[in-house]
Amino acid sequence: MKKTLRVVLYGLLALVVTGGVALVLIAKIALAPAKGEWAAELPIGPIRLEAGVPTLVRLATSPWFGPHLDGRRLDTRFGPVQLAWNEAGPQLEARCAPCSAVVAALGAKPVRLDDLRVTVRRDADRLAGELSATPPAAAGAPGHPPALTGRWDGKLSQRDLQVNVDMADAPIAQWYAVLVPDMPELQRAQIGGTLGLRGQFTQP
């Protein structure tokens, strides 16, 4: 009896291991980048697979796979990123809170945000969405400064993602609060005027 039970358990274990290996191989084949395709390493448990970024973007923004990302949390070098799926869009929302990144043009000190939100919806290879950036509250100031908001769109190809960003007009003081919040003059200076921003960039 014990011998039979042991054989059954070994058989079940072999099936589980075989199934796990098969799933990894399927994922590796399905996500493998084509020649010349924009690629990145994707950690799956203890295994790291090289995956095509355009394939990952299409999966994450598809109405049949995107809902499975709802509630997922990713630990990135910028900060924890919480994912949410909005069925009405349909669109994916990524929220990084708190968030920080080094912007070379602003020096070595990272730009810090209490909250950065980006939404993305896809129509074939066209992407679009909204974004908002909320700076940390100034020392001694009640609440948070208003968020900077804007829209973006982009074209996804096998090699890259071309992005256009259009940030709404906002008081210049609000931009300073996001980009250089530690500037001493910011706390006492009277800064007038508004500023909008339009730009383009390509990833990678």
Share of the chain above pLDDT 90, in %: 27
Helices (H) and strands (E) in the chain, counts: 3, 12
Strands in 10-160 per DSSP E: 39-44, 47-52, 73-76, 79-86, 91-96, 99-101, 111-113, 115-123, 126-134, 148-156
Give yes or no for a contact between 163 and 97, defined as CB atoms under 8 angstroms apart.
no
Give the domain extent around 168. Answer: 52-203
Q: Is residue 29 part of a domain?
A: no
pLDDT tens sequence across 155-175: 999 889 999 999 999 888 778
d(CA 204, CA 187): 37
Q: Which strand (E) or helix (H) includes residue 31?
A: helix 2-31
List of the chain residues with pLDDT < 70: 1-34, 42-49, 105-106, 138-144, 181-191
d(CA 89, CA 153): 15
Domain count, the chain: 1
Check residue 162 and give its pLDDT.
93
Q: Is residue 71 part of a domain?
A: yes
Q: Is residue 1 part of a domain?
A: no
Q: Is residue 116 part of a domain?
A: yes
Q: Is residue 155 part of a domain?
A: yes
Give yes or no for a contact between 36 and 159, defined as CB atoms under 8 angstroms apart.
yes
d(CA 21, CA 74): 24
Q: Is residue 25 part of a domain?
A: no
Residue 65 φ/ψ, nearest 5 degrees: -110, -35
Check residue 81 and give its pLDDT.
92
Q: Is residue 82 part of a domain?
A: yes
Q: Is residue 14 part of a domain?
A: no
Check residue 149 and give its pLDDT.
92
